[in-house]
Structure 1
Amino acid sequence: MKLRENSSFVRFWIASTTSSFGTYITTLALQVLVVGNMGGSAVDVGWVSASRWIPYVLLGLIAGVLIDRFHRKTVLVITDMGRGIILVCICLLSILGVISIGWLMFLLVLFGALSLFHDSAYQSFVPQLVPRRLLTRANARLEQSAAVAETSGPAIGGGLVSLIGAPFALLFDALSYLFSGVLMASIKHQPVNKVKTGPLGQQIKEGLRWVYQHQYLRTLALNTHAWFLFHSMTMTILVSIVLIELGFDASLLGYILAAAGVGAVAGTSLSPRVGVRFGVGRAMAFSRILYGPAVVFMALALAVNISDSQYIALLFVVLGQLFYGFAMGIEGPLEMGYRQYITPSHLQGRMNATLRSINRSAVVIGAPLGGALADGLGFTTALWISIAGLTVCGLWFSLSPMRNARIEDDET
């Protein structure tokens, strides 16, 4: 069966695409809401943004256990509906003029908690919709949609905010989540048996043992945690470089960041074929190696800018973003497909939640660390530290047994 003939996957893909666009609209609309409508500062924006990720750090491992105890489609429907209702509340409170930074953070913590459960169930639900040999191809379709949303979502969000205002832009996203929930509810699939309840600590340990004692998954997990640390450092430093060192405005920053989305679209289009040609492990190793050189292009922009060649500096930054996004596009579907392929159904929720929670914890550390290094050592030195870290991750991955990983002879 081809993916387009799988009506359940097609419905899932449409629902996922719709909510992905809404997510990028919300990210921009919240920032405008805090600064423009509420008169908040940059610190307020930082606290509001961080509040969405707090549940990933605090509840990630527990979420994995609960996901494995319930039917994943039910979790997806409830969390989509819940997030839509929360955004409606934020919209109404904003229109009435009674919202505060504290209340907004509280609502976004709830929003983040629902997103945590949704993301864990989402990644664990795909193997119930498509045969395991098609997981890489299915994830490539989902990643393509996410990349398109990443590229065009901020622009659409900016247009909506300008046209109807930040509160009503959030309402638009609320409708996208409600639509996604309704569509998810209509999906027909064969549910897997729920995990038998037991001591919470024991089930968390079972998930951790699976992730960190598996021959290949252990290396993939540890390497990815380190990658997220240096990735978040890189992105923090890059934004500061573009706005402060190169002197570009926020709108141009949006286009620069969108270049990574363009590269990701190209990468996800090639990902299944690259996996077949070289094997999942070697294809992922190639991607991990590519990140370091991609950021070198961004570092060269600083050197070029010293000579007052601002447009050439811009070209180097865009090229770096394109290659960076391309590497992410190649790697994403292969990594997700491999994780889903080797993990038993009763451990899918715990595997996905464990990786996501620790990866997001690395972001919580890496993002401020990148900013601190940039302030203390300068943009160039901080960026080269990130390059060194990403390069070490690539070499570590390429020299590990993970490079030999395959998916049933990669018949994707």
Structure 2
Amino acid sequence: MGEGGEGGGEILRLRPFAYFWGASSLRAVGGSMATVAIQVVIVTILEATPSQISILSALSVVPYLFLGLVVGALMDRWRRQRTLVLTSIGRAFVFIVLAVLLLTGTLDFWTLAAVTLALGVLTLFADSAAQPLLPRIAPRSSLVQANARLGQSETVAGTAGPALGGILLNLVGPAVLFAIEAMISAIAALLQSRIVVYEPPSSPRPPGRHVGHEIAEGMRYTYGHRTLRPLAISIHVWFLANSIVATVLAVYVLRELGLPSWAFGIALAAGGIGGFAGALVAPRVGARLGAGHAILLGRSLVVIPWLTLAIAPLTAASGTAPVLVVVALTQLLWGLGMGIEDANDISYRQSVAPDDIQGRMNATIRTINRVIFFVGALLTGILMVQLGYQTTLGVAAGIFAVAALIVAFSPLRRVQHAI
């Protein structure tokens, strides 16, 4: 038995997965760098108003809300590897255009809005192709390790990418940084084009059957399945809680507790360390406890940090050091729980669903998640005003607990990974 209980040894020795992982890692790093650069452009170059910033933020989610289910259905008919290559080429083109607009001084708000929307659509297609493609690349017994490796690189990218992007912004400016991101996307496309994978042709569509029928079939399968149904519902509840903490954390820690921005950055980095550690141990946890218990463990762990922040007697007068220690430790545990559950959650979904419905199953869950996150973020504003920051965090902790209880009291708790 190899690491994490899978039977084929280290998954990176499998060449198709190594190309897949390499491209994913490059895009994660490049995406983190580009996010920092775009934020700087919005604030310092375009001097966007708060309403304009809100519009740009919403545009990154809009493709999922309106196209998520359709694209998921298409991914069960299109060649997923080719889709990945085309999306990487598309990203390279968009970033080159963005760099040229900056260099020529012709970038305005609405042009950046169009760029943001285009990147959102490309990301949607890439995400919708990547998840159902992975089970065709990696053996099902190796999916936990494969997803753990992807999780590790994404965590490193999320932690180091913004810092690297900030350094490059100071050294070369946003236009050159976007040109570098275009090169990264082009290299990712090259790696993805070298993935050797068999993708069987889709069966002919019966007369009168359109994409709406296929979307409905994907939803019926997902919410009619004995174990995928509680898994999907648990994820949706988790996303509601996550939308609350993602909205309230920064304003609570920076404004209410008075934590300096540099210390807040350190606390968030601790979350990245926890996520890396969680992804590192996820295969072993899944092999030892089983998929269901590993998911339950991850879901349960994420309750603790937010409950701690909800009841911790912290104020701005507590001082930077105590606040930093508490927030960093909560973020460390938060990341650890997510790292454990993500690899086991995604791997179980990929292993249990038939190949010809993978795209629709994943798109169904992902799209509902985005809708819930969007609504939850709006709801959080009301909760913060009516209940205060700490009570709002306590509400989120309670919702996270409900997500764990759904797993605990369902058949999902007893499922095992494919061997």
Where on the TM-score scale, by shorter chain, does this alignment land: which range? Answer: over 0.9
Paired residue for 1:105?
A: 113
Give the drift of 1:314.
1.4
CA distance in structure 1 between the partners assigned to 2:177 and 2:378 by the alignment:
29
Q: Is the contact between residue 128 and residue 192 of structure 1 (CA under 8 Å) also seen in structure 2?
A: no
CA distance in structure 2 between the partners assigned to 1:177 and 1:194 by the alignment:
28
Paired residue for 1:397?
A: 407
Paired residue for 2:248?
A: 237
| Aligned amino acid, residue 208 of structure 1 | M
Paired residue for 1:358?
A: 368
CA distance in structure 2 between the partners assigned to 1:69 and 1:85 by the alignment:
26
CA distance in structure 2 between the partners assigned to 1:254 and 1:375 by the alignment:
26
| Aligned amino acid, residue 276 of structure 2 | V
| Aligned amino acid, residue 181 of structure 1 | A
Paired residue for 1:171?
A: 179
CA distance in structure 2 between the partners assigned to 1:256 and 1:195 by the alignment:
50
CA distance in structure 1 between the partners assigned to 2:71 and 2:64 by the alignment:
9
Residue 232 of structure 2 corresponds to residue 221 of structure 1? yes
Number of aligned residue pairs: give it: 408
Of the structure 1 ranges 329-338 and 193-202, higher mean CA displacement relative to structure 2 is found in 193-202
1:138 pairs with one of 112, 121, 146? 146
Q: Which runs of 5+ in 1 are unaligned?
A: none
CA distance in structure 2 between the partners assigned to 1:66 and 1:375 by the alignment:
42
1:282-321 alignment runs, 5 A limit: 282-300=293-311, 303-305=313-315, 307-321=317-331
Normalising by structure 1, what TM-score?
0.95
Of the structure 1 ranges 47-56 and 249-258, higher mean CA displacement relative to structure 2 is found in 249-258
| Aligned amino acid, residue 148 of structure 1 | V
Which deviations, in whole Å up to 9, do the C-alpha atoms of 1:60-112 show, x marking residues without a partner? 11001111111100100001110121121122112222122222112211211
Paired residue for 2:5?
A: none
Residue 302 of structure 2 aligns to a residue whose secondary structure is helix
Q: Is the contact between residue 302 and residue 334 of structure 2 (CA under 8 Å) also seen in structure 1?
A: yes
Give the drift of 1:392.
1.7
Q: Is the contact between residue 311 and residue 390 of structure 2 (CA under 8 Å) also seen in structure 1?
A: no
Residue 384 of structure 2 corresponds to residue 384 of structure 1? no
- CA RMSD across the alignment: 1.5
2:190 pairs with one of 182, 192, 205? 182
Which deviations, in whole Å up to 9, do the C-alpha atoms of 1:305-326 show, x marking residues without a partner? 2553332111111111000000
| Aligned amino acid, residue 200 of structure 1 | V
1:114 and 1:195, CA in 2 relative to 1: closer, same or farther beyond 3 A? farther
Residue 304 of structure 1 aligns to a residue whose secondary structure is coil
CA distance in structure 1 between the partners assigned to 2:109 and 2:266 by the alignment:
29
Paired residue for 1:124?
A: 132
CA distance in structure 1 between the partners assigned to 2:91 and 2:139 by the alignment:
30
1:34 and 1:307, CA in 2 relative to 1: closer, same or farther beyond 3 A? closer
| Aligned amino acid, residue 340 of structure 2 | I
Give the drift of 1:275.
0.7
| Aligned amino acid, residue 220 of structure 2 | R
| Aligned amino acid, residue 163 of structure 1 | L
1:306 and 1:250, CA in 2 relative to 1: closer, same or farther beyond 3 A? closer
Paired residue for 1:50?
A: 58
Q: Is the contact between residue 34 and residue 44 of structure 1 (CA under 8 Å) also seen in structure 2?
A: no
Paired residue for 1:86?
A: 94
Q: Which runs of 5+ in 2 are unaligned?
A: 1-7
Which deviations, in whole Å up to 9, do the C-alpha atoms of 1:101-125 show, x marking residues without a partner? 2221122112111111110100111
Q: Is the contact between residue 300 and residue 316 of structure 1 (CA under 8 Å) also seen in structure 2?
A: no
Paired residue for 2:283?
A: 272
Normalising by structure 2, what TM-score?
0.94
1:66 pairs with one of 51, 59, 74? 74
CA distance in structure 1 between the partners assigned to 2:382 and 2:91 by the alignment:
33
| Aligned amino acid, residue 229 of structure 2 | R
CA distance in structure 2 between the partners assigned to 1:219 and 1:314 by the alignment:
36
Identity of aligned residues (%): 36
Q: Is the contact between residue 309 and residue 390 of structure 2 (CA under 8 Å) also seen in structure 1?
A: no
Which deviations, in whole Å up to 9, do the C-alpha atoms of 1:267-326 show, x marking residues without a partner? 01110111111111011111111111111233355x222553332111111111000000
Paired residue for 2:3?
A: none
Q: Is the contact between residue 31 and residue 45 of structure 1 (CA under 8 Å) also seen in structure 2?
A: no
Residue 351 of structure 2 corresponds to residue 341 of structure 1? yes
Q: Is the contact between residue 19 and residue 177 of structure 1 (CA under 8 Å) also seen in structure 2?
A: yes
CA distance in structure 1 between the partners assigned to 2:55 and 2:203 by the alignment:
37
CA distance in structure 1 between the partners assigned to 2:322 and 2:132 by the alignment:
44
CA distance in structure 2 between the partners assigned to 1:23 and 1:327 by the alignment:
24
Q: Is the contact between residue 37 and residue 174 of structure 2 (CA under 8 Å) also seen in structure 1?
A: yes
